[in-house]
């Protein structure tokens, strides 16, 4: 078995999908997990990107069906997490409107991130390192602070925190460890980016979101493809078992191998 075949098998990506089947399967997956966990619904952070938009659509479908089937309300709570002023925040709210989310919460993380960064800098000074937190380091603080906020809200509301990561992110390790930073459930995990886009169109994700360049929102102007040097079309082709340019294939496989720790449980003895 080639490394490509091994990666595809491990991530569970299918070369072709039936849209209705995938939506049904992933909705049922969410419903069953909510019922087994004894929680009252799902919490999804809506960034304004396509992955969180598709996830929000699946979550809302799942909790709406549970509410009808049980006669008791199950919630999908959409959370918006700008860092100061977010230029595309309207895309996040457009997603909430598209899926008629009754419950919406906005938590601005700017002050919390700033305080954490200052404490890190003070800590570094105590060992003689005099520097500001790096751009990448601050990006990681943002990602983790967002997750702290999500879990605090989910705990109070008895909800599961839903992650948005999928196979095209898993292959590159382009996520904070354990999905978007310690999530409870990842309904997109065996889809590649192209397949997520296919579901988006069927679910009714707003056009403004469909047309956006993928970004983790770690700093102004950051995009996944520029940072990794790998296009999502090539990434998706690879995960569908197709042949791609050898140089890009080598880069993708190298990225996969060096980020193995992100896809595994924390090692222990």
- Give the CA radius of gyration of the chain: 19
Question: Token pair of 108, please?
Answer: 């601005």
Two tokens at 41?
């619904």
Q: Domain range for residue 34? A: 3-263
pLDDT tens for the chain, 269 residues long, are 899 999 999 999 999 999 999 999 999 999 999 999 999 999 999 998 999 999 999 999 999 999 999 999 999 999 999 999 988 899 999 999 999 999 999 999 999 999 999 999 999 999 999 999 998 899 889 989 999 999 999 999 999 999 998 999 888 887 766 545 578 999 999 999 999 999 999 999 999 888 766 655 555 655 666 667 788 899 999 999 999 999 999 988 999 998 888 887 777 88
Tokens of 88: 């595309």
Catalytic residues, by residue number, are 51, 169
Query: How many domains is the chain built from?
Result: 1
Report the pLDDT value the prediction gives residue 221, as an integer from 0 to 100. 59
Within a domain: 158? yes
Angle between helices 50-70 and 89-98 (to 10 degrees): 30
Q: What is the DSSP letter of 185?
A: B
pLDDT value at residue 73: 98
Could you tell me how many residues make up the chain? 269
What is the token pair recorded at 98?
């598209």
Decide if 212 contacts 49 (C-beta within 8 A). yes
61 domain residue, yes or no: yes
CB 42 within 8 A of CB 157: no
Question: What predicted TM-score, i.e. pTM, was given to this entire model?
Answer: 0.91
Decide if 128 is inside a domain.
yes
Whole-number pLDDT of residue 52: 94
Would 132 be classed as within a structural domain? yes
- Please report whether residue 207 resides in a domain: yes
Quote the CA–CA distance of 197 and 210 in Å, as a whole number. 7
The reply to whether 192 falls in a domain is yes
Q: Are 234 and 192 in contact (CB under 8 A)?
A: no
What long-range pairs does 64-69 form, CB within 8 A, spacing at least 24?
65/27, 65/31, 66/31, 66/34, 66/35, 66/41
Supply the CATH number for residue 53's domain: 3.40.50.620
pLDDT at res. 88? 86
pLDDT confidence of residue 222: 56
Give the integer Cα–Cα distance in Å for 210 and 205: 7
Rounded to 5 degrees, φ, ψ at 81 are -130, 65
Residue 269 located in a structural domain: no
CA distance 156 to 151: 9
Tokens of 140: 């990681």
* CA pair distance 227, 250, nearest whole angstrom: 16
268 inside domain: no
Could you tell me if 185 and 160 are in contact, meaning their C-beta atoms sit under 8 angstroms apart? yes
């Amino acid at each position: 078995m080639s490394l490509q075949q091994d990666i595809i098998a491990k991530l569970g990506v299918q070369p072709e999908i039936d849209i209705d089947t995938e939506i049904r399967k992933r909705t049922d997956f969410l419903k069953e997990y909510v019922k087994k966990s004894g929680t009252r619904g799902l919490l999804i952070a809506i960034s304004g990107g396509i992955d969180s938009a598709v996830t929000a659509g699946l979550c809302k479908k799942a909790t709406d069906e549970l509410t009808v089937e049980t006669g008791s309300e199950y919630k999908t709570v959409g959370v918006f997490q700008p860092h100061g002023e977010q230029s595309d925040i309207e895309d996040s709210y457009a997603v909430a409107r598209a899926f008629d989310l009754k419950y919406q919460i906005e938590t601005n993380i700017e002050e919390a991130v700033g305080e954490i960064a200052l404490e890190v800098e003070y800590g570094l000074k105590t060992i003689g390192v005099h520097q500001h937190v790096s751009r990448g380091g601050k990006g990681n603080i943002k990602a983790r602070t967002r997750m702290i906020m999500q879990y605090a809200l989910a705990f109070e509301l008895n909800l599961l925190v839903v992650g948005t990561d999928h196979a095209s992110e898993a292959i590159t390790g382009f996520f904070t460890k354990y999905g978007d930073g310690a999530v409870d459930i990842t309904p997109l995990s065996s889809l590649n980016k192209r397949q997520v886009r296919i579901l988006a169109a069927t679910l009714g994700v707003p056009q403004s979101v469909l047309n956006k360049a993928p970004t983790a929102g770690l700093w102004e102007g950051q995009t996944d493809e520029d940072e990794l040097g790998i296009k999502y079309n090539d990434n998706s082709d690879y995960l569908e078992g197709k042949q791609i340019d050898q140089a890009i294939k080598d880069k993708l496989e190298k990225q996969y191998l060096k980020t193995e720790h992100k896809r595994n449980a924390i090692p222990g003895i």
